[in-house]
Amino acid sequence: MKKLTGRIAVITGGSSGIGLATARLMLSKGATVYITGRRQKELDEAVAELGDNVTALQGDVANIADLNQLWATVRERSGSVDIIVTSASIAPSIALEDATFDYFDSTFDVNARGTFFAVQKGLPFMKEGGAIVLVAGDGHMTGWPDFTFYAGSKAAVRSFARILAAGLVDRGIRVNSVSPGPVDTPMLDSLGPDGASVREGLISTVPMGRLGQPVEVARAILFLASDDGSFITGEDIAVDGGAFDL
């Protein structure tokens, strides 16, 4: 029997990057998977690739109505959920002197508020013994210029993991986070006009000398979400090629 056979997983931001890689891996381990994303075209492409046992729901985690619709659909079709993975995220680059309320709000709305309420809205349907994995990021450990809002929002996500883990331990629900370092995802294309130079700059910060691949982060998420991580809660796993430690 595959390690996730019979389990229901909900992955926000599951139409590309780390979220898509996680959906692909969990499906291969026997899970039934729901993915969300803002762009219908990407969701359609993801479903065409992933095949059976996946349901795609268009929605923005920053929109409470969309989150309510997501969980209403999961309840109607599956009744409960075993695994929640929050992968939806944005990483706008803005110089300190150019920062505005709008930049702040849009980043925290997706990365922090969206993460928290995606979990909160799903908890009534979560089985005892379930697992939640929040995708944080290197922003809460490093001081990248021009990524103030991203870093702050990811620090909030890491804090959420600790607090939720303490609050849900009596229900047997484990909550952890993963903090990817530079990973080769479509998000990198939004970090500057010259994608090649952005990637080269990021590679220079990684002792292993390369970008991570989405599946490498997905494997850490799978570990925490499965019974392999049954005695782990409130922790963060850095998947970073040594960037934070060496």
Domain boundaries along the sequence of the chain = 8-239
pLDDT attached to residue 109: 96
As a whole number, mean pLDDT of residues 51-75 equals 96
Fill in the amino acid letter for 195: G
pLDDT attached to residue 1: 74
How far apart (Å, rounded) are the C-alpha atoms in residues 6 and 213?
A: 27
8-239 belongs to CATH 3.40.50.720: yes
How far apart (Å, rounded) are the C-alpha atoms in residues 4 and 228?
A: 11
The H-or-E segment that residue 165 falls in is helix 148-168
Only one residue has tokens 């850095």, namely 238
| Active-site residue list | 150
pLDDT-based confidence at residue 192 (cuts at 50, 70, 90): low
Its sign, for the CA torsion 44, 21, 84, 86, is negative
pLDDT attached to residue 189: 66
pLDDT attached to residue 246: 60
pLDDT attached to residue 82: 98
For 74, phi then psi, to 5°, come to -60, -45
pLDDT attached to residue 190: 61
Only one residue has tokens 């075993």, namely 82
As a whole number, mean pLDDT of residues 144-153 equals 84
pLDDT tens-digit map of 195-212: 566 778 788 888 898 998
pLDDT-based confidence at residue 121 (cuts at 50, 70, 90): very high
Q: How many CB atoms lie within 10 A of CB 72?
A: 12
CB 240 within 8 A of CB 206: yes
How far apart (Å, rounded) are the C-alpha atoms in residues 106 and 112?
A: 10
* Overall pTM surpassing 0.85 (yes/no): yes
As a whole number, mean pLDDT of residues 53-64 equals 96
pLDDT attached to residue 91: 83
Is residue 194's pLDDT more than 80? no
Question: Which parts of the chain are beta strand (E)?
Answer: 8-12, 32-37, 54-58, 81-86, 126-135, 174-180, 236-239
Is residue 191's pLDDT more than 70? no
